[in-house]
Structure formats: structure tokens, C-alpha cells
Amino acid sequence: MHVELPEPTPDERAHSERVAERIRTEIDRAGGALDFARYMELALYAPGLGYYSAGTTKFGAAGDFVTAPELGSVFARCLARALAPELRNGNADSGRDLVELGPGTAALAAELLLELERLDALPARYRLLERSADLRARQRDTLAARCAHLADRVDWLDAPPDTPWRGALIANEVIDALPVRAFALRDEGLSARAVAFDEDGRFVWREAAADAALQAAVERALGERLADLPRPYLSEICVLLDPWLDEVTRTLENGSAWFIDYGYAHGDYYDPSRHAGTLRCHYRHRAHNDPLILPGLQDITAWVDFDALARASAKAGLRVAEHATQAQFLIANGLDEVFAQAYENAADEASRYALAQQVKRLTLPSEMGEKFRVMRLEKR
């Protein structure tokens, strides 16, 4: 996948070189090659340097990509209708909370609060799990501008709640940014893909025989299909998924956990035709598949294996209560009514046109409608 990318500014180039030097130092310490999962972790999360740790704009028109909540209010209003019955199970004394992981600009939080208010289903608290001081400031600005009268219900977390709670957890486009291990199936066997650097300091791929942990993880994930896949075959596996899900849902005593992301299910993740893997990078609204360039300046993601998420949920004491494409989910949760109300209240023809385009992008198979999936897990 070759994509022409905009040229970074001199300041951006300098920042990326600082990130690269941090990674090269660790590669040297590791003996010349670094497992891709660690490379991805550093490129995204190295303190003060990584893509999500540094203070650059990631979301929206001025950033690198647009999430569903950034398109407008339709997605959030439908999600609010799905959440409302869960939240109404509480009361003023033992009210239910909403916990959102990776809340971005808080666009989703603002619209959810407003719609839940209209539905008489406000949570006792809306808790944003956000470690970045820069993003917290942006989130406060968003909430102050769009729903200031509800700000007293909002607080911020540095980690998942450490005491038992009831309600709903939301993770919109979060799992795709968990570091993944990259592997290659070749005639001679399974290899782990790692990152090294050449004599010019540029990052390059290296392969070595898979360690026992990777071998076991791939065999569990692929089962009998492992022998039938073509060679060479490149893909990824998120070995962090099980412990991560256990951590974020451990203290959820009663309620649901909602995961919205782009991904595959029903055995399609490791399809024979998907022989180049699912790694995707986003830079200035261009998508490409080279994670070894522009470290610290671009997002690096892998599509989500929703079958693996379902398996992890069972280990974490949850059950899959709902699983649908994003289009199916929105239609089942009042899309027609939400669209009709928004269309009627639109200020002018341009607003109505923008609304129609928003719905198309959310639901068309060629856009987000079938590429994105929604999975609801329950703990009772």
C-alpha cells in the first residue's frame, strides 16, 4: 500500500528523531532487534515522546484521523439509547457510573451526557480514564463548551476503578491501539517479527524463530487453520488482550462493557487472503501500512480480533450479550428516529446535507458500517 504522505515540519521531524533515538537505544540494549510489540509501545506511549504521550493534535480535521463521535452527534445518541436501560437500573443512592477508556477530545462524553439527560438516564458519575494532561485539558474545554451544566458529574481517572462499581464501561477505538506481536509463517516455520535499524539509522524488519510464548499464542488463536494458511503469511496477535480486559473490568461488579472498533469476527481475522496482516497507520488523514516510519508522529493500529475478545471475556468472568456490525447496532438503537429529529432541527440545507453524509459514513459497508463492530459484554 503506497500512499503519498504530507511532509512533516522541521519541528515534527526533530520530535520524531528524538523518539527514534529512544527506540534505537532500546534496540541496542536488546542486542540489535526489538520485538515489534515493544517498538509499537514505545512509538505510541513512551513518556513525553510517544504519539499518545506528546501534546500534538490526534483527533478531528486538524489531527490524523476522525472517530465516529467526531463526525457528529448521531453515533453518541444511538449509543445513549443502548446504554439508558442499564443506567436506569440505578437510583440516586446507588446510581450507576459510566467509565470511558481513551476518551479522546470528550466529544463522545459530551453528546452522551446530553442525550442521556434527554432520556432521563444520566449516570451518577461519568468517569474518563485519561493519563495525558494535554488531552485532559482538551476534554475539559469540550465539556465546558457543550454541557457545562453537567460538568459536576464528570471526573478523571489515572487507572481503572480500584473499588467495586456498577454501570457501563465504554471503549471506542481503544483495543486497536494495544501493542501487538507481529509474526510470519514461512516454509521453515513460525517467526517473530522484530525491529532493527540499518547503518543510516532507519528502522527495518528482522525475523527470528518464534519464542515459546508466541508459538503457543499463535497455535491457540489459529488452531487447525495454522497448517492451511499460505506461506509466507504475515499477521499479528494481541497477547495483551486477556490481561488488559481483566484489568479494566476487574472491579465492575454488575453492568456491561461496550467495545467499538474496526475488526473481524467469525474466523475472518486470519483469512488466507489477509496475508499481509492488519497493521494500519494514520498520518494527516492518510492511511498506510508502514509502522517503521515517522515514529511518534503517526498512529499505529492493528484491527481487532473480536473472536479473541469473546474468548478473553469468558476468562474475565463476562459473557457476550451482543455482537453486531456498527450499521446493525445503530439501526437497532434508533438511528431512524435520531436522524429524523436531527434533520427536522437542522438549521439549513447545508446542515441537512452534512447530517446525511454523517449517517452514510457511519453505516455504509464501504465506510464504517461493516468495518466497525460493536460487542457488549455483561457481568451480573
Using the structure block, give the residue that is written with the C-alpha cell 438503537.
Answer: 333
Span 29-45, average pLDDT: 97
For residues 229 and 235, what is the distance between their CA atoms, to the nearest angstrom?
Answer: 11
Quickly state the pLDDT bin for 94 (edges 50, 70, 90).
low
Which pLDDT score is estimated for 209? 93
Whether 63 has a pLDDT exceeding 60, the answer reads: no
Task: Give the percent of the chain with pLDDT over 70.
Answer: 95
Identify the DSSP state of 2.
Answer: -
So where are the chain's domains?
1-380
Report the CATH fold assignment for 1-380. Answer: Rossmann fold (3.40.50)
Backbone angles phi, psi at 304, to 5 degrees: -90, 135
Q: Is the pLDDT of residue 67 over 70?
A: yes
Output 281 or 92, whichever has higher pLDDT.
281
What are the contacts of 280-287 at 24+ separation with CB within 8 A? 282/64, 282/65, 283/5, 283/6, 283/64, 284/5, 284/6, 284/64, 285/64, 285/65, 285/66, 286/3, 286/4, 286/5, 286/6, 287/1, 287/3
Q: What pLDDT digit, counting tens, does each position of 138-189 carry? A: 999 999 999 999 999 999 999 999 999 999 999 999 999 999 999 999 999 9
Q: At residue 286, does pLDDT exceed 60?
A: yes
Averaged confidence pLDDT in the chain: 92
pLDDT tens, residue by residue, 308-356: 999 999 999 999 999 999 999 999 999 999 999 999 988 899 999 998 9
Model pLDDT, residue 65: 59
Across the range 251-266, mean pLDDT stands at 96
pLDDT confidence of 259, banded at 50, 70, 90?
Answer: very high
Dmax over Cα atoms in the chain, in whole Å? 64
Q: What integer is the mean pLDDT of 58-87?
A: 80
- Give the confidence band of 361 by pLDDT, cuts at 50, 70, 90: very high
Lowest mean pLDDT across 77-91, 235-249, 251-265:
77-91
Measured distance CA(15)–CA(10) in Å, rounded: 9
pLDDT score for 285: 78
- In angstroms, the first-to-last Cα distance of the chain is 45
Report the C-alpha gap between 99 and 105 in whole angstroms: 15
Q: Which residues of 230-269 are buried (b: 16+ CB within 10 A; e: fewer)?
A: eeebbbbbbbbbbebbeebbeebeebbbbbbbbbbbeeeb
Q: Say how far apart CA 380 and CA 378 lie, in whole Å.
A: 6
CA 178, CA 247: separation in Å to the nearest integer? 14
Residues found in the chain: 380
Pairwise CA distance, residues 155 & 166, whole Å: 16
* Chain-centroid distance, C-alpha 15: 24
Evaluate if pTM is beyond 0.85. Answer: yes
Question: Does the pLDDT at position 300 exceed 80?
Answer: yes
CA-CA distance, 63 to 66, in Å (whole number)? Answer: 8
- The beta-strand segments (E) located in the chain are 34-35, 97-101, 125-129, 154-157, 165-172, 181-186, 189-197, 203-209, 233-237, 252-264, 279-283, 286-288, 299-302, 304-305, 319-325, 372-379
Three cell numbers written together for 67: 472517530
Q: Is the pLDDT of residue 54 over 80?
A: no
> Mean pLDDT, to the nearest integer, of 31-49?
95
pLDDT for res 64: 54
Q: Which of 310, 278, 287 is nearest to 367 (CA)?
A: 287
Task: Give me the pLDDT at residue 93, please.
Answer: 43
How much is the pLDDT for 92? 44
For residue 260, name the pLDDT band (cuts at 50, 70, 90).
Answer: very high
When pLDDT is cut at 50, 70 and 90, the band that residue 299 belongs to is very high
